[in-house]
Structure 1
Amino acid sequence: MVPSGQLSPATRPDLSTTDIDVLELADLAAEVGRHRPVLLDADLLVLVTGGHGTAELDFRALSCRPGTLLRATPGQVLRCPARLDATVIRWTAEALHGLDVDPDAVPTHHQLAGEDEDAVINEVSQLVVDHRRHRHDPAARPLLRHQLAVLLIRLALLPGGSDPSRSPAGTGPHRAELVTFHRFCREVERAYQHTRRVEDYAARLGCSVRTLTRACLAVTRRSAKQVLDERVALQARRLLAATDEPVARIGRRLGFPEPTNFGRFFTREVGVSPGAFRAGRDRPAQRIVRPRRPADPPVDNGQA
Structure 2
Amino acid sequence: MVPSGQLSPATRPHLPAAEIDILELGDLAPEAGWRRPVLLDADLLVLVTGGHGTAELDFRPLPCRPGTLLRVGPGQVLRCTAQLDATVVRWHGETLRGLDVDPDAVPTHHQLAGEDEDAVINEVSQLVVDIRRHRGDPAARSLLRHQLAVLLLRLALLPSGPTEGTGDASADGAAQRAEVDTFRRLCREIEHDYQHTRRVEDYADRLGCSVRTLTRACLAVTGRSAKQVVDERVALQASRLLAATDEPVARIGRRLGFPEPTNFGRFFAREVGVSPGAFRAAREQPPPRVVRPRRPADPLTDPGRA
Shorter chain as normaliser: what TM range? 0.7 to 0.9
Match of 1:179 in 2: 181
Matched ranges for 1:269-280 at <5 A: 269-280=271-282
What are the equivalent positions in structure 2 for 1:27-66 lying under 5 Å apart? 27-31=27-31, 33-66=33-66
Q: Who is 2:3 aligned against?
A: none
2:191 alignment partner in structure 1? 189
Q: Please list, as runs of the form range in 1=range in 2, the aligned pairs for 1:160-239 lying within 5 A after superposition.
A: 160=160, 167=166, 169=168, 174-239=176-241
Provide the secondary structure at the position in 2 that maps to 1:251.
Answer: helix
CA distance in 1: counterparts of 2:207 and 2:221, whole angstroms: 18
Change (3 A) 1:291 1:185: closer
Say whether 1:267 aligns with 2:269. yes
| Residues 144-194 of structure 1 deviation map (CA, whole Å, 9 limit, x = unaligned) | 0000000000000002399x7655535796222122111111111111101
Is the 2:18–2:93 contact (alpha carbons within 8 Å) kept by the matching residues of 1?
Answer: no
C-alpha change, 1:99 and 1:211, in structure 2 (3 Å) is: same
Seen in structure 2, the aligned counterparts of structure 1 residues 192 and 212 have a Cα distance that, compared at 3 Å, is: same
Q: RMSD across aligned C-alpha pairs, in angstroms?
A: 2.4
| Pairing 1:109-188 to 2, within 5 Å after superposition | 109-160=109-160, 167=166, 169=168, 174-188=176-190
Q: Is the 8 A contact 2:39 2:77 kept in 1?
A: yes
Q: Secondary structure at the match of 2:232?
A: helix
Q: For residue 97 of structure 1, what is the aligned residue in structure 2?
A: 97
TM-score by length of 1: 0.87
Answer whether contact 2:56 2:62 (CA < 8 A) is retained: yes
Query: Tell me, what secondary structure is at the counterpart of 2:47?
Result: strand
Count matched residues: 284
- For residues 220 and 12 of structure 2, what CA distance do their matches in structure 1 show? 41
Matched position secondary structure for 1:288:
coil
2: CA distance between counterparts of 1:51 and 1:184?
A: 39
Structure 1 unmatched runs, 5+: 1-8, 294-304
Measure, in 2, the Cα distance between the counterparts of 1:135 and 1:265: 48
Residue number in structure 1 paired with 2:283: 281
Change (3 A) 1:247 1:44: same
Contact 2:232 2:271 in 1 (8 A): yes
- Distance in 1, Cα, partners of 2:160 & 2:34: 29
Q: Given the two structures, how large is their TM-score scaled by the length of structure 2? A: 0.87
The residue aligned with 1:247 is 249
Which residue of structure 1 aligns with residue 106 of structure 2? 106
State percent identity of aligned pairs. 78
